[in-house]
């Protein structure tokens, strides 16, 4: 028998998560992401926001890998290169800035997380309706909008 180091969420642990997620544009996505993270049950609102910033980082990292694969396959080089720049900006600027700002300057954190959605939209629009990254960009925008809504609770 293997030992499970899993923690079963108790009703009290879920209360803050559920109440916080209700105030986002996508409560189901919010709940899905936060319930999947072992840090969430003991997190305060800022901690929940930081978990979503980590999700943004993971999504941007995956986006960069996908973009590199598409470039190797001979995709739209101009649009893909612009997308690479967009996602690089998320990883190099937005994520570190939001991480630092959540607990000190939540308005600044809100703005930087909001920029992640703008960057995803910029990437999507570069393909003029024929984007191979629609799913990736929509995912980034959705998570960024949820993170932004959570950060707004800190203002």
pLDDT, tens only, 78-136: 999 999 999 999 999 999 999 999 999 999 999 999 999 999 999 999 999 889 999 99
Residue 74 has pLDDT above 60, yes or no: yes
95 phi and psi, to 5 degrees?
A: -65, -50
What range defines the domain where residue 25 resides? Answer: 14-152
For residue 34, being part of any structural domain is answered with: yes
Assigned domain for 111 exists? yes
What is the pTM (predicted TM-score) of this model? 0.91
Residue 106: CATH number of its domain: 1.20.140.40
Instruction: Give the C-alpha distances (Å, rounded to integers) separating 118 from 41, 65, 111, 138.
Output: 30, 20, 10, 11
The tally of domains found in the chain comes to 1
Distance CA 8, CA 11 (A): 10
* Structural domain contains residue 107: yes
Mean pLDDT of the chain, nearest integer: 92
Angle between helices 106-125 and 77-89 (to 10 degrees): 170
Q: Confirm if 32 and 109 have CB atoms less than 8 A apart.
A: no
* Axis-axis angle for helices 45-72, 106-125 (nearest 10): 20
Question: Is 75 a residue whose pLDDT tops 90?
Answer: no
Q: Is residue 8 part of a domain?
A: no
Tell whether 7 is covered by a domain.
no
Whether residue 138 lies inside any domain: the answer is yes
Contacts of 135 (CB under 8 A, 6+ apart): none
Position 24 in a domain: yes
Helix (H, G, I), strand (E, B) or coil at 125: helix
pLDDT score recorded for residue 11:
47
Quick one: DSSP state of residue 128? T
Evaluate whether residue 2 is within a structural domain: no
C-alpha span between 67 and 89 (Å, rounded): 14
Give pLDDT tens digits for 121-139.
999 999 998 899 999 999 9
């Amino acid at each position: 028998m293997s030992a499970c180091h899993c923690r079963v969420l108790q009703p009290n642990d879920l209360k803050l998560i559920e109440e916080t997620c209700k105030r986002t544009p996508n409560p189901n996505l919010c709940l899905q992401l936060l319930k999947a993270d072992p840090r969430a049950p003991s997190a305060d609102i800022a901690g929940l926001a930081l978990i979503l910033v980590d999700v943004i980082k993971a999504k941007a990292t995956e986006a960069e890998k996908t973009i590199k694969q598409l470039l190797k396959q001979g995709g739209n080089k101009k649009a893909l290169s612009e997308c690479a720049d967009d996602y690089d900006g998320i990883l190099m600027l937005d994520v570190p800035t939001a991480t630092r700002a959540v607990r000190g300057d939540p308005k600044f954190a809100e703005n930087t997380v909001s920029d992640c959605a703008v960057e995803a939209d910029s990437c999507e629009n570069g393909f003029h309706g024929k984007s191979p990254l629609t799913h990736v960009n929509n995912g980034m925008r959705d998570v960024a909008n949820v993170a932004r809504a959570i950060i707004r609770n800190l203002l």
